[in-house]
Amino acid sequence: MTSTTWDSTPVMFKTDGAELRTVDIGGDISVAFVRFVAGTDMTPAFKGLPDDLCDCPHWGYVIKGRIKLHMTDGSAPVYSAGDAFYWAPGHAPEALEDCEFLDFSPSSEFRKVVDHVKAAVGG
């Protein structure tokens, strides 16, 4: 696969506060389309992963809203609509506003995190 859209990308999990759609687009890279409702904090879903945070790197773009990251080092950077980003391993997103973002991740690493989160959220 070399391209995809929101509608054609499979839903990996969907809750009242979060929706993740992802697919491998080739070269061991997955694209994810993500929506969070304001106030959604993904930190609890990462419990049990290294440092109880997402241990997969992501490169992406915030389409709508604002997202705060809880980082291993205690920092909490905020990303807003229009921001391109790199999120190093050791993070957990929290939606400060309703938000949407697109990210690219190494498929094999991301798959492990998604499976963990799916089990945690029952999604």
> What pairs with residue 19 in β-bridges?
14, 35
Q: pLDDT tens digits, residue range 30-49?
A: 999 999 999 999 999 999 99
> What is the pLDDT, as a whole number, of residue 36?
97
Strands in 91-95's sheet, in edge-to-edge order, are 78-80, 66-71, 91-95
> What is the pLDDT, as a whole number, of residue 121?
86
CATH number of 11-121: 2.60.120.10
Residue ranges covered by each domain of the chain: 11-121
Task: Give buried/exposed letters for 33-54 (b at 16+ CB in 10 A, else e).
Answer: bbbbeeebebeebbeebeebbb
User: pTM for the full model?
Assistant: 0.92
Collect the ranges in the chain with pLDDT lower than 70.
1, 123
